[in-house]
Chains A and B, each alone.
Chain A
Amino acid sequence: EVQLVESGGGLVQPGRSLRLSCAASGFTFDDYAMHWVRQAPGKGLEWVSGISWNSGSIGYADSVKGRFTISRDNAKNSLYLQMNSLRAEDTALYYCAKGPAAIVIGSWFDPWGQGTLVTVSS
């Protein structure tokens, strides 16, 4: 069974940093692109970032470009999101999601983890 488990969320002050992790199991991790998608409280879904199987192709939403960095460690079956210069509008539930193929483009998301909550507030 494919499983994605996020961790690392919490309460952080504006301007500070946080690193999210996603532990993957039940599939050959380095065969697939991986993504982060977020959902602000009571709101819809927003794609944040995606990374190809070998980290050779990476994409970011304009809203996080220059502040967030996605990475992966295939030896540890893990996905990461380094979030710097956090803002109140980054407050959301952050989901880790698996793409259908090795490349980032053309990705739907299946499955999704249960998410980790990031709250940016002073």
Chain B
Amino acid sequence: EIVLTQSPGTLSLSPGERATLSCRASQSVSSSYLAWYQQKPGQAPRLLIYGASSRATGIPDRFSGSGSGTDFTLTISRLEPEDFAVYYCQQYGSSPTTFGQGTKVEIK
């Protein structure tokens, strides 16, 4: 199965700053079948990005995804207070679908 490694484990930033989160796959992710989710404490995950770069419905344009092959990035252009959360990547190009271990974006 494809192993996804997210880095860094924790990102400490201030509101207004830019956040860059990495997701690296152990094998190439076919057709850029990669998604990103946001999870806040006590809440279910929320889909942000699918197909590596397509924003889900209702997701603000400060969230963007990029990458292909084995290297993918989620960028939050300017952090809002509500963006401090844990972010997960998921590959769905190979079975079984797998998730990264998560990156926590915390307030500095």
Contacts and interface: CB of A to CB of B under 8 A. Distances in A.
Interface of A: 44-47, 59, 61-62, 95, 100, 105-115
Interface string B30-63: 0001010100000111110010000010000000
Contacts of A44: 88, 99-102
Nearest to B48: A110
Given A45-B102, A105-B92, A107-B92, 11 more contacts: A44-B102, A45-B37, A45-B90, A47-B96, A95-B45, A100-B50, A106-B33, A106-B93, A109-B45, A111-B46, A112-B44
B17 to A, nearest CB: 25
A47 B88 contact: no
Q: Is the interface of A mostly helix, strand, loop or mixed?
A: loop
A116 to B, nearest CB: 11
Interface residues of B, number: 22
A45 B92 CA distance: 14
Contacts of B47: 108-111
Contacts, number: 53
Contact of B88 (A45, A107, A111, A114): A45
15 contacts: A44-B88, A44-B102, A45-B37, A45-B99, A47-B97, A47-B98, A62-B96, A105-B92, A106-B93, A108-B90, A108-B92, A109-B37, A109-B45, A112-B44, A113-B44
A59 B36 CA distance: 22
Q: Is the interface of B mostly helix, strand, loop or mixed?
A: loop
Contacts of A100: 50
Contacts of A105: 92, 95
B65 to A, nearest CB: 12
Contacts of A112: 44-46
A113 B102 CA distance: 20
A107 B34 CA distance: 10
Q: Which of B33, B44, B95 has the most CB of A within 10 A?
A: B44
Nearest to B50: A108
Q: Which of A108, A110, A111 has the most CB of B within 10 A?
A: A108
A61 B99 CA distance: 13
